[in-house]
Amino acid sequence: MPTKLSVDDTIRKAKTFAKKGNVTEAQKLYHAILSNFPNNDRARQGLANLNINKKINSNQKQLNQEVNHLVNLFNQGQIIEVARYAETLLKQYPEEFIIWNILGGAYATLKKFDQALQALKKVTELNPNYVDAYYNIGVVLNDQGKIDEAIEAYQKCISLFPNYPDTYVNMGLGLKLQGKLEKAIEAFITALSIKPDHPEAYFNIGVSLKGVFFKKPNPRLQKIMTSLLDKKTYVRPKDISKAAVSLLKFNPKLNRHLEPQNMASGDFKSLEVIKDLSKLPLLLKLMSVCPIDDLNLENLLEKLRAKLLMSITELTNTSELLNFQSALALQCFTNEYIYSQSDDEKKAIDKLEDLVKKTLRQGKKPSSQIILCLASYKSLNHYEWSNLLLVTNETKDVFTRQIFEPNTELNLRKKIPLLENITDKTSSKVRDQYEESPYPRWVNLKLGLNPSSISKIISDIKIKIFDNKIKGVKSPEILIAGCGTGQHSIGTATRFKDSKVLAVDLSLSSLSYAKRKTEELNIQNIDYMQADILDLLKLDRKFDIVESAGVIHHMEDPFVAWSILKDCLRSGGLMKIALYSKLAREHIVKMRKEISNTGLGSSDSEMKSFRNMLIKSEKNHHKLILNSPDIFSLSTLKDLLFHVQEHRFTITQIQECLFDLGLQFCGFESDTILSHFKLTNAEEEDLYNLDKWQIYEEANPRAFSRMYQFWCQKI
């Protein structure tokens, strides 16, 4: 029989077993005590506690299983089932805030925003420090357009948990909608300080920087922009070029070199300038991936190119010099050698090329600095001796862009199928232009982070749908009519989930460029074909979506082309069209007449000559064109001012075309223009009223300076 002391030891052992979760052994010990001491209160209470805990643990286990089931349903997209089941569970667990939070998320996904807010506010009542609830409240309020309240919710979230990067990203999106771009960018930067590889933060910085001009320095942002450009698919470099240059100009040394008196000075020290510029990684990266759309910086780079040419054989080979030369050669290749050349430069180039030929005949290899110098005046693949060169670490980027990639395109063009021989006279002229000048030359491209369903894209861009069956198409077949060098086709193929894209164009040069970039990005859902829109009915195919941006206004009869595209569309299908605005291009029409009256052609030298005149001109319509990024490369300049065929439209004409074609206007796609339009057109239906858009454009004639870009539906 146990003694009193042994009872105490036994109870301690039973408690130890209980703490370790070994309930069975604890029960045995308590029962052993009670068999000898039936009235021992401590043993009786210990046994009772075991039974209570067992019940609690059982209930908690059941609750955990229910929550996990809800989460699995949510992840599988069974949102209606999540909402129904969560409502049922809350009858059994009315105080369980996790279930309320899941229910709030389900309601939000189903666009039941008021019910979502009620559920999420219940979470904050049950657990005032539950961070996810405030975050989700912010998301719902943002979807409702209640931006101020959404930002307050995110700020509450940050006060409870300051190290959650997604909160800063969402708050940045709200600040951007309020027009507070600098604060939005700071929020994205904070997200990156917490999570340096945050894709949404990078992506949204890129979106926010478009059109921004900085008035104060921000060295931290310069580093982020350099990294952003390194990401390759988060931003179109030209979209952030002006923002980048405005930041770079706060560098006192760069600013000093840009001063007219210093550039005109006979004491201009090119190596000193290069040394300073080489310390600006953002500048070198920008030079490598897109045309620099700043005339002052262009003048500096043009002068440095000439100075290097005149002294290249005397310069000491340094890493700073070669890094700068590589960036300069890439810049010149990307802008298609738009810089002017003096007669002295032309003579020096011939002399330097003779030196290279002589060196090669002697069985030697020319220096990297000489090769890079020549590559900044003409693409290396245009030199007959380029195949004899040795690729070095210093020249490999230039070799890739100027030799290897063009060679790849030559091989790819042989594999692109032809629908029909192109016989239309206007189409043939347009094809010849783009064969000579593929448009545009690009390096990096902004792609969506994740492809979306048609239904989600319709919701995101807020277009009006007249036949809802298009929302149910899971694997859309898409036609890109006039894909150019691939930016459009690649963007669409990565935008629409499970899509299959056929991209056609007149120009094999453009198509081979597009196919090369598509393969580089490992995109598998695009087929390319050479074809005229006028022949597309011979495909005998129908598509769920047809997109044609900036194409049919270059055809003999845009309405005929548009009608053919409509006939390629399934009933209920969507069409995206982009057309030139007559109002927005009045200054361009004047310049096209000036070009015609002076008898200028579209050779490189003639286009450069006209461009130089524009830069020096004091005429208002000439100054206006200098704001366009299209004047900073030859192919875009040709497309802008020297195109062989161009039509322009008014919104009234578009409205008439849509009526005649039996297409319904669904809405414009441009966040900036839509936001400005809504300042004076507050009703939701105003967005789809072309009469009101006509009034808006008359009051804002530069609104569609790029193009009208809109959706319509075949019903």
Give tens-digit pLDDT for 545-602.
999 999 999 999 999 999 999 999 999 999 999 999 999 999 999 999 999 999 999 9
- Residue 420's pLDDT band, with cuts at 50, 70 and 90, is very high
Q: Is the pLDDT of residue 539 over 70?
A: yes
In the chain, the percentage of residues whose pLDDT exceeds 70 is 97
Q: Is the pLDDT of residue 55 over 80?
A: no
pLDDT number for residue 3: 42
Instruction: Determine phi and psi for 653, rounding to 5 degrees.
Output: -65, -40
pLDDT number for residue 495: 97
Helix H segments across 144-278?
A: 147-160, 165-177, 181-194, 199-209, 219-230, 237-248, 252-258, 260-263, 270-277
What domains sit in the chain, N to C, each tagged with a CATH number?
4-66 (no CATH), 251-412 (no CATH), 425-583+648-714 (3.40.50.150), 586-641 (no CATH)
Residue 430 in contact with residue 556, Cβ under 8 Å? no
Average pLDDT, whole number, for the chain? Answer: 92
Q: Is the pLDDT of residue 411 over 90?
A: yes
pLDDT number for residue 467: 96
Q: Which of 178, 304, 290 is nearest to 636 (CA)?
A: 290
Tens digits of residue pLDDT in 592-628: 999 999 999 999 999 999 999 999 999 999 999 998 9
Residue with tokens 């609690």: 56
pLDDT number for residue 187: 96
Mean pLDDT value across residues 172-197: 93
pLDDT number for residue 62: 74
pLDDT number for residue 59: 57
- DSSP assignment, residue 196? T
d(CA 178, CA 678): 13
User: In 3-state terms, what secondary structure has residue 32?
Assistant: helix
Lowest-confidence range among 22-36, 349-363, 616-630?
22-36
- Residue 688's pLDDT band, with cuts at 50, 70 and 90, is very high
- DSSP assignment, residue 687? G
pLDDT number for residue 53: 54
In the chain, the percentage of residues whose pLDDT exceeds 90 is 79
Q: Is the pLDDT of residue 401 over 70?
A: yes
Tens digits of residue pLDDT in 222-254: 999 999 999 999 999 999 999 999 999 999 999
Reduced 3-state DSSP string for 353-414 = HHHHHHHHHCCCCCCHHHHHHHHCCCCHHHCCCHHHCCCCCCCHHHHHHHHHHHHHHHHHHC
User: In 3-state terms, what secondary structure has residue 630?
Assistant: helix
Q: Is the pLDDT of residue 464 over 50?
A: yes
User: In 3-state terms, what secondary structure has residue 339?
Assistant: coil
Q: Which of 119, 185, 109 is nearest to 143 (CA)?
A: 109
Mean pLDDT value across residues 681-693: 95
- Residue 29's pLDDT band, with cuts at 50, 70 and 90, is confident
Q: Could you tell me which residue, 503 or 314, shows the higher pLDDT? A: 503
Q: Is the pLDDT of residue 4 over 50?
A: no
pLDDT number for residue 5: 46
Lowest-confidence range among 14-23, 388-397, 531-540, 581-590?
14-23
Lowest-confidence range among 87-91, 133-137, 433-437?
87-91
